[in-house]
Structure 1
């Protein structure tokens, strides 16, 4: 879901210059892996690196076709009308977390956040203060609806949501960063079209869109693993 809006803009930009369209289906990463392993047909998949590795190990993507695409950082948000809190340091962030109901995601950022609480030794204290967003639901909506006081999720999912104010990225010592990658479906019959789309995803035009969504493109070398130049 972290790349949902990004992919929407990238595919629209691509379709305006290509002679075919790309259709995107977005869902939580855990659900996506289950769906694809159950036999769903797809041409290309965009997921967190660990999910791509799972699909590669089970033979559901073309061997060697996986490529890292964008880096994404986790941020902190509150309701637009909420009193500001200090989250500039690890200590102040910890105090803010302990003082609020916290919304987090089902994805890798959520798993990393729980590990951070464990490192702090507050996992038991936080158990009754945590609200996990259902799969496919943005933490930003929990924040905007007032169901949580603080939302912690990928910056791309917190930006530009009505009623939500982003306080910033997680402070030094607490950073949570994810890499989202692409891979080609093992059963695709559209290799040419898929490779054309992947080339565009790594282009300068797509990089501008990536940056606009609060992510950063992965630097590409001359020839990628899928053989694209």
Structure 2
């Protein structure tokens, strides 16, 4: 079986999965690999895991290109992904129009589901926002931290807490059954992260990696990217 190997941030998992049938039809290749916290994925590449392609934050892909692990000329932006709030499907929506509203929403929750606060883009941002809002110590016992946003959202979906809330990248919320996107973080607390694809120096299948990048970023996939949660890109 011919397989294109990928290391990717969890933010792109839903989009990649949606493109897999078209990619298979075009190339005859399946897509396999890992999706998780971007820092962890970058470390896997550095430790000689040999994927064909990476999809990580633009800053990380640029750094990997500097480290001669990614072909600089192959770097292509896919789009921006917002860090957002999530609730269990069926629970009341949580709105936060400003920092005070976000602070109140977090304090009103008895469980806060987030990705890795040291290795994931959204998790690091959540930790910083809690400090910014002055409530990090108050909510530390309520944090439910998981290796990546997709896992955090699956756990939120089955949470038995009275009033749980989640915070991760919008793409991971949209692609998880049982949770609902409740809105982006308010001005002053927001984060929109550019995700970029790059072909690795050691790629076994560079042409197919290029084909996947074309599929992910092509003008014909603008609506598919939007549905997956990417708010801009090469369009």
Band of TM-score, shorter chain? 0.7 to 0.9
Asked if 2 retains the 8 angstrom alpha-carbon contact of 1:7 and 1:24, the reply is no
Asked if 2 retains the 8 angstrom alpha-carbon contact of 1:4 and 1:26, the reply is no
Asked if 2 retains the 8 angstrom alpha-carbon contact of 1:62 and 1:185, the reply is yes
Matches within 5 A, 1:5-154: 5-16=14-25, 18-28=26-36, 29-100=38-109, 101-106=111-116, 107-135=120-148, 137-146=150-159, 149-154=164-169
Distance in 2 (alpha carbons) for counterparts of 1:33 and 1:160 = 23
- For structure 2, the residue ranges without an aligned partner over 5 or more in a row are 1-9
TM (norm. structure 2) is 0.83
Which of the pair is proportionally richer in strand? 2
Asked if 2 retains the 8 angstrom alpha-carbon contact of 1:27 and 1:136, the reply is no
Asked if 1 retains the 8 angstrom alpha-carbon contact of 2:51 and 2:203, the reply is yes
Distance in 1 (alpha carbons) for counterparts of 2:212 and 2:141 = 45
SS of 1:42's equivalent in the other structure is: coil
Question: How far is the alpha carbon of 1:160 from its aligned partner?
Answer: 5.3
- For structure 1, the residue ranges without an aligned partner over 5 or more in a row are 221-229
TM (norm. structure 1) is 0.85
Structure 1 residue corresponding to 2:216, chosen from 175, 181, 201 = 201
Question: How far is the alpha carbon of 1:34 from its aligned partner?
Answer: 1.8
Which of the pair is proportionally richer in helix? 2
Distance in 2 (alpha carbons) for counterparts of 1:103 and 1:8 = 24
